[in-house]
Chain A
Amino acid sequence: MTDFSKALAHHHRGLLESTTRRHFLRDCSSGMGALWLASQAQGKEATAIHHDSFDPLSTLAAPLKGKVKRVIYLHMIGAPSQLELFDYKPELNRFDGKSCPQEYIEGKRFAFIRGVPQMLGHQYPFAQHGQCGHWISDRMPHLQRHADDMCFIKTMTTEQFNHGPAQLMVHTGNAGLGKPSIGSWVTWGLGTENQSLPGFIVLISGGRLPRVGKSLWGSGFLPSVYQGVQCRSVGDPVLNIRNPEGVSQSMRRAALDALGNLNEMTHASVGDPETVTRIAQYEMAFRMQMSAPEVMDISSEPTAVQEAYGTTPGKESFANNCLLARRLAESGVRYIQLFDWGWDTHGSSKSESLNFGFKDKCRQTDQPISALLTDLKQRGLLEDTLVVWGGEFGRTPMQENRGGGSMSFIGRDHNPNASTLWMAGAGIKPGFSYGETDALGYESAVNPVPLRNFHATLMHLLGFDHEKLNFPFQGLAQKLTGVKHAKVVKDVLA
């Protein structure tokens, strides 16, 4: 902090005291009636979230003891095939090339499969790894070494089998647009540890944005300050973080000094405390300009680290984003969301096939994820950071036969009935696997976990009762877990 900003901060505290520290109604949304509603609709007291409007991202303590302080969520956009990675089904190989038994297709809706498809055996060999003996395919040679750190849920289920709605289900608990994302709920509930960086950061790789775009990190009805901020590994790390050409940092400092003084004059004459908040936001913006480019610059990392992750500084890559994720976690960012595009392996083209594109995707992600886990562990961050890996649904044990014909490449259709998600880090049982799919890996046979239960578990790990972290909107105490009953998957907790 410069002397000037110290002085300014001191001065602002004075101003604030004179204008009464207030909890804006709008910070808790729509007024007392709504608050009452939030607390009563579920027959449970709502967790009170009070941020000062001066500092809406200030750290709040979780109401329960949460072991997780921050989350790194790795979403493989397009839905990776669990049957080529983590869900080993010897029976499926026996059925390879045979017609799908009728019981598997009766009454089911598919996105692309028509009529009677054939079963498709595992495309890659599996082996057991670690003390725990997790089955992992040969596509993830680096990750295999972390078997004993990972906690699998093999039976994730969702209600959606098209990408857009299913991605929204994962990140907002709802298939429609307009609900807050997990990261927004979490930063609203906990604030963030570093006031010079956004609390919820999104990193993209794979060359494309997920199809529903920004809604996956939107704040929905929560105040917009809690929405995710997309940062970039190429070009400006945060939009508009750089001064316009010709404006040096000292010019900017002088301009902000003048701006602060003029705004104080306005405040003195008009008396609107929002003006004081605005002064504070300009100062925070200035701090962000100083620190964000530094944090986002991975080139300063030692060569050994760069090599461990397999980064390519100056380019957009999943490996770069993994290293960035570690730097952001270290800097106290609350929720770090990575999206990697290109996992939709229908077999409709070379890049979208299990025999080609999938291999590339595995190669691009295996080493960086493994490096991330190692790095977090070495720095002690894995003790209070949770890493989550998953897609938006699973893939079918049947081979896709789009349009009723045969396809040039090998692929699988969307399967909302079973997918694999894994976690590593704080609060979970390492080297553990929960839930079992049926013999062919199609349905979640034992201990299915609907997304809402995963959400409840995640909230629990962060120190919230998912029922109580709610926000009044449209006459309902809105929750990440939605209106259906959700429960914490206790078995996966450490």
Chain B
Amino acid sequence: MFRYPVLSYLFLATITMAAPVDFAEDVKPLLNKHCVGCHGGVKRASGLSLLSFEQATGKAKSGLAAIVPNQPMESEMMLRIRSQDEDERMPPADHGPALTESEQKLLSQWIKEGATWKKHWAFEAPQRDKARDAESRIDPLVQVSLAKEGMALTSPASPAELLRRVTLDLTGLPPTPEELAAFAKAPTSKDAYQTVVERLLESKHFGERWASLWMDVARYADSEGLGVDRSRTVWKYRDWLIDAFNNDKPYDDFIVEQLAGDLLPNPTMGQRLATAFHRLTQSNNEGGTDDEEFRVLAVMDRVSTTWEALQGVTFGCVQCHSHPYDDFQHEDYYSFMAFFNNTADADVGEELPKLRVPLDKTHETKAAEIISERGVLNEAIYKASSDLIAKTPWQNATFSSAKSSSGTGVEIVDDEFRATGNMAKGTTFTLNLEAPPGLSEVSAFRIDLLPQDPDTAKHTPEWGSVLSRIKLDQRLPGSDAHSEITLSEVIADEPEPFYDPNESLKKGSKGAGPYSKQFHERHCIVILKEPLKIVDNIALRLHLTHDVFALGAFPLVTKRGKVSFTDSSAWEGFLDSPGIASKRNKLASLRKAEKEIKAISIPILHERPAHLRRDTHMFERGNWLTKGKLVEPNVPGSFPPLADDGPHDRLALAKWVASPENPLTARVMVNRLWEQLFGRGLVLTLEDFGSAGDKPTHPDLLDHLAIRFQRDHAWSVKSLLKEIVLSETYQQTSRVKPEAYSNDPSNAKLARGPRQRMTAEMVRDHALAISGLFSPQLHGPPVYPPLPKGVWTPFSGEKWKTAKPNESERYRRSLYVFMKRSIPFPMFATFDAPSREICQQRRLPSNTPLQSLTLLNDEAFDECAKALGKRIDAKEGDLKAKLTHGYLLATSHPPEATALNELERLYKRMRDTEKASHDEALNVVASVLINLDAALTK
């Protein structure tokens, strides 16, 4: 029941407006502000959601439609918004204030005009302006927006200011005095600057600087994260990034290879290695943790990171409910998750599967061939064995009795043996088997390992089992002794299991069986070396030993099993049959060839075989233990569809992200690069291009650059960066008058050049570079520069092997520093570097006393100061010349006379008042230089 506020309504309805109301600009923000908290993706109060036209114009629980297009008076929403009755009015008083008159007018007018629902700008592909997008329009577009405010670009930066900025921006290192001198001397022409830019883009340090950025996005770390936070060897991926940027790998390939390089035809080593991107998720090896829980967490992180890093959309919330503001349905999350739910990794302690990556790059082609070839051979052998398994008549064994070596019980139920009671580690089941009737000999037997609840296990697996040892023995009639029967081979039910099934025949805990969790009914075949004659009254005993004790908490003991026999002669000759023997020989020679290549093993993505596919279900209320509806892999309905040829797999998804039709991919990357150069994205919220994020300050410019990036630059990051740094906008001076500054503190309008404190990595690299300590070496394992005392107390006990003074490892670039998530490098953390647990899109720069203490007192910076002091001293000339050189090294500018005086005064004060030696005095001066504001900014 409601009352019609007729009078005021009629009055307002007669007001006409000039231009049609813009949904995205005017209406959506109002809905987000006042309505969708309750009538959105999360709550849908009274059955109403205002997230799409269909939902808003459909009937709510009351049977009424909130919005009736063209009919504001019929629209329940308007009536409720305008209601004078406190019980009727929306939003209710305790939820928020009533809409203002003008807000009401807007909504009413919009409904009157048809309530057209436009997609949020970022979800529509940018449109190419054919006539004008062929060349760079950065400056005209910036100028147009400035002109609207009566502003203009400011003057160009001085050569020194510009060279410092562009050198640090493109390579992360400062220009040398020689480079500064040459550039200052060069005629001020576009050509001279362009030459510099081209030189910097070709610098080998370019890749290091941009890899640093991507390492935040990819949550790169040299440790596992949660739980014990053990070390993780994955640095080859970091080197892959450096090379990708140095070689200007097109951004679309860059994406496809990281998401699904393993699924490309005949993947190269690099393409396989790139998939380590999504193995940088945290894993948990704390005792008593559930591998499946943390596998699922890792998969969900892959979903969130894919969206945040590549699409600039926060997707994590859709895990529990539909998106509160944007048109993503709850189910979209799980359909998307299904793309990632079938990789083989499963939070097992060994971080399997791993890729052997040669230490020497020249061996990569050979090593990649070996992997591909081995895959084909294993697949063929698996195919042949599974065909044979299917054809083989298996005769179920009957158990006469069974016993267990541990507190775990074992019972016989029909043709199964079952574990009972508590699972104990080191359990061996001894199964007494009756001679299979009708068989005169046995050539092989089969062990089936069954989940306790097969239907549930398909999506929520049980702890698996590993047959650490399989032994069969016989006692012949009339004999007291059991004699062991020689077993020759164990064949698994998948082409490339984590553990070699033949380990079941050797000492050690590994072996056949589902490790560590079990989704499906599994089996393995054991072939006898020689067929076993079945004589009357033969006694057979099968021993199954389970020694794997996962996470110090879960003994991986077979819960339900069956045994069956065959006399099929096909198994006798199987290994030696021509098709198989040659493949096995080939595999042996590949193994040998592989061993000869020195390599390290890196966790990567690898798809599980089709028959072991995991079902993906929705989680009820985000809880992984409560599964809802079964879903298939797909992309959200509000986006362009997947290419319709081929399977909906990770590769299809990767290509979808990297396609020109995707509205977000190019914009997000363009914005990211822009933010690195200007300190502020065209969309401020790099992490959120959705309707709750900030609107672009220069929408036309963003779209222009996105189009240019995709089309004209063919996804070349270097070309795009070149276009930006060659713009006048970029080349402006950052000097600013106080009024202009307060007018636009974050430089959103771009009326001056960018000026920012350098990133944590740059601050350190800069100090190393100006002091002359810097080691320019590229690539390689993580390095261990000095760490303040008392910081390194790792839970997992590993050592921090500090490189000694004068060892080059001590002075390597920051991106090589060992990155442990639970103990981030203090200097980086102090300068706002994230600890890389999750994808981080931008760093919020801070300015704190702890930064000052680090730069003044930290051992590493003190070492830089001493080295810089010596370097200054080595400069020919008098004290003034030396100090001038120091200032130039630190700031890229020669000092003004007043600054030089200040430095000189400090030096003299050290000598005269403090009685410091010449070296000590220069050391103090050098420390001041390293700490200068002008030395910390770019």
Residues of A at the B interface (CB closer than 8 Å) are: 18-20, 22, 24-26, 29-34, 36-37, 40-44, 53, 56, 109-112, 114-116, 162-165, 176-178, 198, 208-209, 211-215, 218, 221, 223-225, 227, 229, 232, 234-236, 238-244, 246-248, 250-252, 254-255, 258-259, 261-263, 265-267, 269-275, 277-279, 281-282, 284-285, 288-289, 401-406, 414, 474-476, 483
Question: How far is A22 from B745 in the complex, measured between Cα atoms in Å?
Answer: 8
A176 to B933, CA, bound (A): 37
Q: Which of A20, A110, A234, A240 has the most CB of B within 10 A?
A: A240
Asked whether any CB of chain A lies closer than 8 Å to the CB of B716, the reply is no
Report yes or no: A274 in contact with B227, Cβ–Cβ below 8 A. no
Cβ contact of B838, chosen from A162, A165, A178, A404, cutoff 8 A: A178
C-alpha gap A263/B284 in the complex (Å): 47
Contact at A242–B688, with CB atoms within 8 Å?
no
| Cα separation A494 to B99 with both chains bound (whole Å) | 40
Distance A269 CA – B849 CA, assembled complex (angstroms):
24
Contact (Cβ within 8 A) B790 A235? yes
Given contacts A31-B685, A33-B695, contact A43 B91 (CB under 8 A): yes
What B residues does A252 contact at CB under 8 A? Answer: 856
Instruction: Decide: B741 and A178 in contact? CB cutoff 8 A.
Output: no
- Inter-chain CA distance A433–B552, complex, in Å, is 37
Least CB distance from B109 to A in Å reads 22
Q: Is the CB of B425 within 8 A of A403?
A: yes
CB distance from A152 to the nearest CB of B (A): 28
Contact of A281 with B422 at beta-carbon distance under 8 Å, contacts A164-B226, A212-B822 already known: no
- Given known contacts A162-B227, A214-B835, A20 and B856 CB-to-CB distance under 8 angstroms: no
CA distance A19 to B742 in the complex (A): 7
- Whether, in the assembled complex, B199 has its beta carbon less than 8 Å from a beta carbon of chain A, the answer is no
Minimum CB–CB distance for A84 against chain B, Å: 20
Known: A225-B848, A241-B853, A241-B857. A177 touches B423 (CB 8 A): no
Can you give 28 A-B contacts (C-beta < 8 A)? A29-B844, A42-B37, A43-B38, A112-B288, A114-B422, A162-B286, A163-B286, A209-B823, A211-B822, A212-B822, A214-B823, A223-B846, A227-B829, A244-B865, A246-B920, A251-B914, A254-B924, A262-B933, A265-B896, A271-B738, A274-B847, A279-B933, A281-B849, A281-B852, A282-B852, A282-B931, A288-B853, A405-B422
Given that A254-B909, A255-B906 are contacting pairs, would A177 and B425 also be in contact in the complex, using a CB cutoff of 8 Å?
Answer: no
Distance of A450 from chain B, by nearest CB (Å): 15
Determine whether B549 belongs to the interface, using a CB cutoff of 8 Å to chain A.
yes
Interface string of B399-430 (1 = CB under 8 A from A): 00000001110000000000001111100000
Q: Does B734 lie at the interface of the complex (its beta carbon under 8 Å from any beta carbon of A)?
A: yes
- Extra contacts, 4 of them, besides A112-B288, A239-B791, A240-B853 (Cβ < 8 A), are A178-B838, A218-B835, A234-B790, A475-B324
Q: Please give, as numbers and ranges, the residues of chain B lying within 8 Å of A289 by CB-CB distance.
A: 853
Q: Are the CB atoms of A30 and B684 closer together than 8 Å?
A: yes
Q: Verify A213–B790 contact, CB threshold 8 A.
A: no
Smallest distance from the beta carbon of A269 to chain B beta carbons, Å? Answer: 7
Contact B829 A224 (CB under 8 A): yes
Residue in B290, B838, B846 with the greatest tally of chain A CB atoms within 10 Å: B846
Q: A267: which B residues are within 8 A, CB to CB?
A: 933
B905 lies within 8 A of chain A by Cβ = yes
CB distance B846 to A263 under 8 Å?
Answer: no
Known contacts A33-B692, A240-B858, A281-B847; is-contact A272 B736 (Cβ 8 Å):
yes
Q: Is the CB of A281 within 8 A of B851?
A: yes
Does A403 contact B553, Cβ atoms closer than 8 Å?
Answer: yes
**Is A225's CB under 8 angstroms from B846's CB?**
yes
Query: How close is A106's CB to chain B, nearest CB, in angstroms?
Result: 15
Nearest 10 pairs between A and B by C-beta? A213-B822, A115-B422, A111-B288, A404-B422, A404-B424, A177-B837, A285-B852, A285-B849, A43-B95, A20-B742
B869 CB to nearest A CB, Å: 12
Q: How far is the CB of B337 from chain A (nearest CB, A)?
A: 16
Q: Which residues of A contact B845 (CB under 8 A)?
A: 26
Question: Judging by beta carbons under 8 Å apart, are A270 and B736 in contact?
Answer: yes
A214 close to B824 (CB less than 8 A):
yes
Give Cα A41–Cα B130 distance, bound, in whole angstroms.
Answer: 41
Within 8 Å of chain A (Cβ to Cβ): is B854?
Answer: yes
How far apart are the CA atoms of A178 and B45 in the complex, in Å? Answer: 31
Min Cβ gap B600→A in Å is: 26
Q: How distant is the Cα of A40 from the Cα of B37 in the complex, in angstroms?
A: 8
Is B207 at the interface (CB under 8 A from chain A)? Answer: no
Taking a contact as CB atoms under 8 Å apart, the answer to whether B857 and A240 are in contact is: yes
B316 cross-chain contacts in A, Cβ below 8 A: 474
**Which B residues lie within 8 Å of A278 (CB)?**
847, 852, 933, 936
Residue in contact with B933 in the complex, picked from A112, A275, A402, CB distance below 8 Å: A275
Once bound together, how far apart are the Cα atoms of A77 and B549, in whole Å? Answer: 25
* Chain A, Cβ-Cβ closest to B841: A474
CB within 8 Å of A: which B739-798 residues: 741-742, 745-746, 755, 757, 788-791, 793-795
Tell whether B555 is near chain A: CB-to-CB under 8 Å.
Answer: yes
Nearest chain B CB to A263's CB is how many angstroms away? 5
Q: Which of A32, A208, A278, A414 has the most CB of B within 10 A?
A: A278
Chain B: minimal CB distance from A415 (Å): 13
Could you tell me the distance between the alpha carbons of A258 and B791 in the complex, rounded to whole angstroms?
31
Cβ of B425 and Cβ of A405 under 8 Å apart?
yes
- Given A112-B553, A114-B423, A282-B852, A259:B33 Cβ within 8 A: no
Point out the residues of chain A lying under 8 angstroms from B821, CB to CB.
177, 213, 215
| CB pair A405 B910 closer than 8 Å | no
Check B914 against A214 for contact (C-beta < 8 Å): no
- Residue of A with least CB distance to B40: A41
Q: Which residue of A lies closest to B838 (CB)?
A: A178
**Bound-complex Cα distance A78 to B225 (A):** 18
Complex interface: chain B residues within 8 A of A259 (CB) = 928, 931-932
Indicate whether B190 reaches chain A with its CB closer than 8 angstroms. no
| Smallest beta-carbon distance B546→chain A, Å | 11
In the assembled complex, the Cα of A240 lies from the Cα of B790 at a distance in Å of 11
Given the interface pairs A33-B694, A405-B424, A414-B288, the reply to whether A271 lies near B736 with Cβ below 8 Å is: yes
**Chain A: minimal CB distance from B634 (Å):** 22
CB–CB A115/B423 < 8 A: yes
A198 to B849, CA, bound (A): 9
CA A453 to CA B693, docked complex, whole Å: 30
- Chain B residue at smallest Cβ distance from A53: B847
A405 close to B407 (CB less than 8 A): yes
B916 contacts the other chain (Cβ, under 8 Å)? yes
| Shortest distance between the CB of B411 and any CB in chain A (Å) | 14
Interface core residue of A29, A34, A110 (most chain B CB under 10 Å): A34
CB-based contact B853/A285 at 8 Å: yes
Which chain B residue lies CB-closest to A245?
B862
Closest Cβ of chain A to B755, distance in Å, is: 6
User: Which A residues are in CB contact (< 8 Å) with B862?
Assistant: 244
Contact at B32–A40, with CB atoms within 8 Å?
yes
B360 close to chain A: CB less than 8 A: no
- For A53, list chain B residues within 8 Å (CB): 847
- Do A271 and B737 form a contact, CB below 8 Å, given A214-B822, A475-B325? yes
Q: Is B317 an interface residue (CB 8 A)?
A: yes
Smallest CB–CB gap between A253 and chain B, Å? 10
Known contacts A22-B742, A33-B694; is-contact A402 B324 (Cβ 8 Å): no
B393 nearest CB across to chain A (Å): 37
Nearest residue in B to A287 (C-beta to C-beta)? B849
* Docked complex Cα distance between A116 and B407 (Å): 12
Cross-chain contact A258 with B903 (CB below 8 angstroms): yes
**Which of A176, A232, A404 is close to B555, meaning CB atoms less than 8 Å apart?**
A404
Q: What 1/0 mask marks residues of chain B from 900 to 938 whose CB sits below 8 Å from any chain A CB?
A: 001101100110011010001001100110011110110
Q: Are B735 and A111 in contact (CB under 8 A)?
A: no
Q: How far is B793's CA from A240's CA once the two chains are assembled, in angstroms?
A: 17
Q: Is the CB of A164 within 8 A of B745?
A: no
Chain B residues lying within 8 Å of A404, measured Cβ to Cβ, are 406-408, 421-425, 555
Q: Would you give the shortest CB distance from A219 to chain B, in whole angstroms?
A: 9
Contact status A475-B741, CB under 8 Å: no
Closest residue of chain B to A195, judged by CB? B849
